[in-house]
Amino acid sequence: MGVIISLPIGIARTVVGALQKFVLRQNKPLRIDIPLPFIPIDVVLVTDAAQIMTLTNHPDVDHLHALPTDKLPFWSTWFFSGTRFHNKSHDKWFLAFEPQSEAAQYSERRKVFEDKLSSGFAGEDVKSLADQIASGASEEQVAVSLAQIVDARFMKSELNSIPVEVVRETRHVLPTNLVAALVPGNQKRGVQAQEATYSFCQKNAQPGLDVMDVTHNVGSVVTIMAVAVLKLKDNLDTPIEHLFTRKSNCPTPQVPRVVMRETNLNGLLRYPGRPSSTIVMLSISSAAEQANSLFFTFGTGTEWRACPFKDFFFNFMTALQAELKTRRQS
Ligand code: HEM
Using a 6 Å cutoff on CB, does residue 244 contact ligand 1? no
| pTM of the predicted model as reported, rounded to 2 decimal places | 0.95
Q: Which of 240, 307, 318 to mutate to test the pocket of ligand 1 (most atoms within 8 A of CB)?
A: 307
pLDDT, position 330: 63
User: What is the rounded CA–CA span in Å between residue 279 and residue 266?
Assistant: 16
Residue type for position 228:
A
Q: Which of 309, 314, 316 to mutate to test the pocket of ligand 1 (most atoms within 8 A of CB)?
A: 309
d(CA 305, ligand 1 centre) in Å: 9
Q: Whose CA is nearest to atom 7 of ligand 1?
A: 298
Using a 6 Å cutoff on CB, does residue 299 contact ligand 1? yes
pLDDT, position 8: 86
Asked if 327 and 130 touch (Cβ cutoff 8 Å), the reply is: yes
pLDDT, position 104: 74
Asked if 300 and 256 touch (Cβ cutoff 8 Å), the reply is: no
Using a 6 Å cutoff on CB, does residue 297 contact ligand 1? yes
Compute mean pLDDT per 10 residues along the chain, 330 residues long, and list them. Answer: 78 88 90 88 97 95 97 96 97 96 86 97 97 96 98 94 97 90 94 98 97 98 98 97 98 97 96 97 98 98 97 98 88
Pairing of strands 279-282, 255-259: antiparallel
Q: Whose CA is nearest to atom 21 of ligand 1?
A: 307
Query: What is the rounded (10 degree) CA torsion for 247, 273, 16, 255?
Result: 10
Asked if 261 and 273 touch (Cβ cutoff 8 Å), the reply is: no
Using a 6 Å cutoff on CB, does residue 293 contact ligand 1? no
d(CA 320, ligand 1 centre) in Å: 20
pLDDT, position 82: 97
Question: Which segments of 177-222 does DSSP mark as H helices, in order?
Answer: 178-182, 186-204, 211-220
Closest by CA to 46, choosing from 276, 307, 306, 259, is 259
pLDDT, position 4: 78
